[in-house]
């Protein structure tokens, strides 16, 4: 009895539960391993918010949508405020005025860049301005400021006819002033003016017609093993094609078109300058004339400044009280101001011989019959 008390109750502690000790040991080991791995692997190298004990953030699609919508509304407001009607008339006059309409650049329709934004000479806008002045009771005269290498036959003639219509309807004087150049189609639209002034540095003349340069690179294609076939309804349907040599008949057809347009041009110069048609043909061989040479030939009336031309109109037609107003195309739209600084689409590039030849041919091998001084248009 005493031994039992000394062994279990009084002298010795009871032995612990073996199963519980094993469980506690395993749990401590797991905690130790987890803490070691956490110290070895920084949070920035793969730990998620859940592993770090941070609840995950939910992406808000509505928030993104509202931000985009807000930006769109902001752009729309800026566009409305900045637009001011987009195409601006560019002038205002209080009382009688002489309108100076600027024709700068190639005389053709569709002068837009790769973004569809207008630049340079705007044909339809120019015609509409003449229409407006034609029936504006405050308008007393028109000065066409020309700085152009020419343009297409159609557009040059359409502008010429509109100037003639203005003269017939209003009876007002029309002057042409030549800036740095008024060649070919630029002279064409100047011819009906009552008086032509030229800047002393102006180049003019180039009275003639061209269809441009026609390239025949059929031999070039053959060299690279390229064969072509063109299916047409007649032997001359594809005349001017750059993949087939031009025949004598096709050359004669093109020449007849050029000659007809030339006769029209020569007749307009003869009528406008009160000059015999034979004399016009003598001097209208396509060459460029300086301002003083054009004056000697009777193609212009005076060499001087723009102010001198305007003063001459005022004095000659008793318009001393008239204001001279510039009429210039302006695109004031928001998108124009944003995109105007972006370069036009790049032209075809390539280091190979084929790419170099094709890049040369592409802009040249186009054949609209035109009143164009090609050298000045480069």
Residues with a known catalytic role: 184, 237
Per-residue buried b or exposed e for 324-341, using 16+ beta carbons within 10 Å of the residue's own CB: bbebebebebbbbeeeee
Q: How far is CA 120 from CA 73, 96, 106, 109, 125, in A?
A: 31, 28, 8, 10, 11
153-170 and 123-134 helices, crossing angle to 10° = 10
Phi-psi region of 84 (alpha: psi -120 to 50; beta: other; left: phi over 0): left
Whose structure tokens read 């189609």?
A: 185
CA distance linking residue 69 with residue 88, whole number of Å: 30
Distance of CA 294 to the CA centre of its chain: 33
Residues in the chain: 378
- The position carrying tokens 């005022």 is 314
Tokens 């539960």 correspond to: 17
């Amino acid at each position: 009895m005493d031994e039992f008390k000394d062994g279990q109750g009084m002298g010795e502690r009871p032995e612990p539960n073996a199963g519980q000790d094993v469980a506690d040991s395993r749990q401590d080991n797991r905690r130790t391993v987890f803490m070691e791995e956490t110290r070895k692997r920084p949070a920035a190298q793969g730990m998620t918010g859940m592993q770090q004990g941070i609840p995950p953030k939910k992406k808000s699609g509505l928030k993104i949508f509202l931000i985009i919508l807000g930006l769109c509304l902001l752009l729309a407001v800026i566009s409305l405020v900045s637009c001011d009607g987009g195409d601006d008339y560019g002038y205002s006059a209080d009382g009688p005025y002489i309108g100076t309409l600027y024709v700068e650049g190639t005389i053709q329709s569709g002068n837009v860049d790769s973004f569809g934004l207008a630049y340079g000479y705007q044909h339809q806008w120019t015609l509409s301005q003449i229409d407006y002045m034609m029936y504006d009771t405050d308008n007393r005269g028109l000065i066409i400021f020309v700085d152009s290498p020419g343009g297409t036959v159609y557009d040059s003639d359409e502008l010429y006819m509109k100037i003639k219509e203005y003269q017939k309807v209003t009876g007002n004087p029309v002057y042409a002033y030549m800036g740095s150049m008024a060649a070919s189609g630029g002279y064409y639209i100047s011819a009906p003016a009552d008086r032509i002034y030229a800047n002393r540095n102006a180049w003019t003349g180039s009275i003639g017609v061209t269809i441009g340069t026609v390239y025949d690179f059929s031999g070039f294609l053959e060299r690279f093993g390229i064969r072509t076939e063109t299916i047409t309804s007649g032997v001359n349907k594809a005349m001017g094609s750059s993949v087939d040599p031009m025949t004598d008949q096709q050359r004669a057809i093109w020449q007849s078109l050029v000659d007809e347009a030339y006769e029209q041009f020569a007749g307009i110069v003869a009528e406008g300058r009160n000059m015999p048609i034979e004399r016009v043909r003598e001097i209208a061989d396509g060459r460029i004339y300086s301002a003083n040479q054009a004056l000697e030939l009777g193609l212009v009336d005076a060499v001087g400044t723009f102010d001198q031309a305007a003063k001459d109109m005022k004095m000659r037609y008793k318009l001393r009280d008239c204001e001279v107003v510039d009429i210039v195309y302006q695109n004031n739209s928001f998108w124009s101001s944003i995109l105007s600084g972006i370069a036009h689409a790049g032209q075809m590039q390539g280091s190979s011989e084929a790419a170099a030849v094709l890049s040369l041919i592409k802009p040249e091998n186009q054949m609209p019959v035109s009143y164009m001084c090609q050298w000045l248009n480069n």
